A and B are shown apart, each in its own frame.
Chain A
Amino acid sequence: MKDVVDILVAYDVNTETKEGQRRLRRVARVCTGFGQRVQKSLFECRVTQAQLEELEARLVKIIDGKKDSLRIYILPGDRNRLVRVHGIDRYIDFEDPLIV
């Protein structure tokens, strides 16, 4: 049993250059390891404090501070209560039964 928080990770990565496209892919890949994509540049993750620090450190290393933007929102409680969703929703609760 662990203490976890729900967070939102949003980013804008400038993809005018090949290098920028590479950064975009790397940011997305790192985020996938911690949570799930809910919109094109928005991830929702349920992480421990340590995982949050690790995620942040890894993303900060990847982005270009002069061209890109990264925002991490930490939700003050359960996302099921705090997030209102309309339209397409592909969110999977990883604590629900996972059966394929």
Chain B
Amino acid sequence: MTHVILNTLYVQTQGAYIHLYQDTVRVEVEEEVRLQVPLHHLGGVVVFGNVLVSPYLIQRFAEDGRFIVWFSASGRFVGRLQGPTSGNVLLRRAQHEVLSDPGRTLHLARCIVSGKLKNSRQVLLRGLRDLQGSVPAIEEAADNLQVLVNEVQRASSLDGVRGVEGRGAHIYFTALGHLIRGDFVWTARSRRPPRDPINALLSFAYALLVSDCVAACEGAGLDPQVGYLHALRPGRPSLALDLAEEFRSVLADRLVLSLVNRRQVQPGDFDVRPGGAVVLKDDARRVFLDAYQRRKQEEVTHPLLEQRIPIGLVPYVQARLLARFLRGDTPKYVPYSIR
């Protein structure tokens, strides 16, 4: 017996056509079948830009609860397929009840941010080990992040937590620059649009990660829009964004670092659009998606479950732990942290 997590099919070839054929998904490019995959292997499909998706496939995916996520050709999130509202209405009501309970909302926000800070710190320390040298700036940043981990536990309001998070992000991203080798220049985090290649990679990775977290919330029967650290806003998957925080550095940032430092992605792999937005070229995006999928299959030991699982499954596990807390089954939410 082997264990599998459902795979994601990425289609980025412009002009491709995806349709349902019996119980398989077929991808055709210029009337040639490029790939045919039985449905039971797929959790969902992610398409980029001008890719035609047949109506029957959309309907079947909606019925089965599989996801379709649309990105623009340059990798900006466009939309996703929403099937019938699933899951547990009582769980969703619990989500709203926690939202109107300042104490429990604060607890969640603190946990999410402390998980994020801890993992960010670990990514810096791990990068430092790989460098095999002493970089005072990184060591100092790691120490400062540790201080913030303690500080966030004392924050008495949601805004206080968000303030600590902001300071943490600043410290972390400044230090991250010291881990980037090769011909890339890192200044600061910029988004909407990303203004340099590293930011383009980060934004792209976060978009994929958030899509996975939306799927994880849906999988646990949670409403991905009802979040706590992230304020409610129409169309914003606030809970998925909350959930993504603990994984940003571990899943996305480390991936970007290793692709850049192993020179699998080079400065020539990017285009600059009018207005200054930097986007990945098609071939490099393929390299990136491949690395992202492989990264998700790497096994880690989940500290709470004490079990080895693919890291891509951890958001699903965390979504279930989150659901337990929201229902009141557990008094605490424990974020995922490496080491």
Contact = CB atoms under 8 A, between A and B. Distances in A.
Interface string A63-99: 0000000000000011000000000000010111111
B78 interface: no
A98 B38 contact: no
Contact of A100 (B8, B21, B34, B313): B34
Interface of A is mostly: mixed
A95 B313 CA distance: 14
Contacts of B192: none
B22 to A, nearest CB: 5
B36 A36 contact: yes
Interface string B275-287: 0000000000010
B40 A34 contact: yes
A46 B42 CA distance: 12
B24 interface: yes
Interface string A34-74: 11100000000111100100000000000000000000000
A78 B2 contact: yes
Given A32-B22, A97-B293, A100-B16, A92 B35 contact: yes
A35 B38 contact: yes
A98 B7 CA distance: 8
Contacts of A1: 3-5, 309, 313
Interface residues of A, number: 28
A95 B41 contact: yes
Interface string A1-26: 11111100000000000000000000
A25 to B, nearest CB: 12
Contacts of A34: 23, 38, 40
Given A32-B22, A47-B40, A5 B1 contact: yes
B10 A99 contact: yes
A4 B6 CA distance: 11
A2 B29 CA distance: 32
B52 to A, nearest CB: 13
Nearest to A79: B2
Contact of A32 (B10, B38, B290): B38
Contact of A98 (B8, B21, B40, B309): B8
A96 B290 CA distance: 9
Given A29-B22, A34-B23, A4 B1 contact: yes
13 contacts: A2-B4, A32-B22, A33-B39, A35-B38, A95-B4, A97-B290, A98-B7, A98-B37, A99-B9, A99-B10, A99-B293, A100-B13, A100-B35
Interface of B: 1-5, 7-13, 16, 21-24, 27, 29, 34-41, 286, 289-290, 292-294, 297, 309, 313
